């Protein structure tokens, strides 16, 4: 149920993002989805990859600061209110979202929401109760 996402520290200067991407490409690691958070000072690249352990190792060998974070991916209909219908009950259960991002699936009419919760285990329980489609890694791969 829980997916492993890589978080990379990037300095805020040219070439930092492309270097990380190049390392992954050279090692034949595919990025399923990603998002970039940035400040004036630095950025954090969050990426779900095809082979998380190998990706981590190659990035660390290249001197990049990497962490693995547990995230949850939920599949929803790609239509108005798709996200709101998930957020409302999460809020009702007092689940704190650290951050989230979303992408449209290659399957028409479906979208994927990726959440980083403060308490991932509690979130999994609630999402199950709500009978939402929580994706496993192979399912995510299929949707990208």
Write out the residues near another protein by the rule CB under 8 A: 5, 7, 9-11, 16, 37-39, 41-42, 44, 46, 63-65, 67, 69, 98-99, 116
Least distance between another protein and beta carbon 63 (Å) = 5
Q: Which is nearer to another protein, 66 or 134 (CB)?
A: 66
* Cα separation, 32 vs 15, whole angstroms: 21
10 Cβ contact list (under 8 Å, min separation 6) = 16, 17, 20, 36, 38, 42, 43, 44, 45
Least distance between another protein and beta carbon 47 (Å) = 11
| CA angle in degrees (0–180, nearest 5) for 116-77-130 | 60
Q: Which is nearer to another protein, 26 or 60 (CB)?
A: 60
Q: Which is nearer to another protein, 99 or 103 (CB)?
A: 99
In 3-state terms, what secondary structure has residue 98?
strand
Least distance between another protein and beta carbon 62 (Å) = 10
């Amino acid at each position: 149920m829980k997916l492993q996402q890589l978080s990379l520290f990037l300095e805020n200067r040219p070439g930092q993002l492309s270097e990380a991407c190049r390392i992954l490409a050279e090692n034949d690691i595919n990025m399923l989805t990603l998002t970039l958070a940035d400040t004036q000072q630095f950025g954090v690249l969050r990426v779900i990859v095809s082979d998380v352990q190998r990706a981590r190792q190659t990035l660390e060998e290249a001197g990049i600061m990497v962490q693995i974070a547990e995230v949850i991916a939920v599949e929803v209909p790609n239509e108005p209110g798709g996200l709101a219908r998930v957020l409302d009950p999460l809020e009702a259960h007092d689940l704190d979202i650290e951050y989230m991002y979303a992408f449209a699936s290659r399957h028409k009419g479906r979208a994927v929401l990726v959440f980083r919760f403060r308490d991932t285990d509690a979130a999994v329980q609630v999402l199950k109760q709500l009978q939402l489609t929580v994706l496993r890694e192979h399912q995510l791969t299929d949707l990208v």
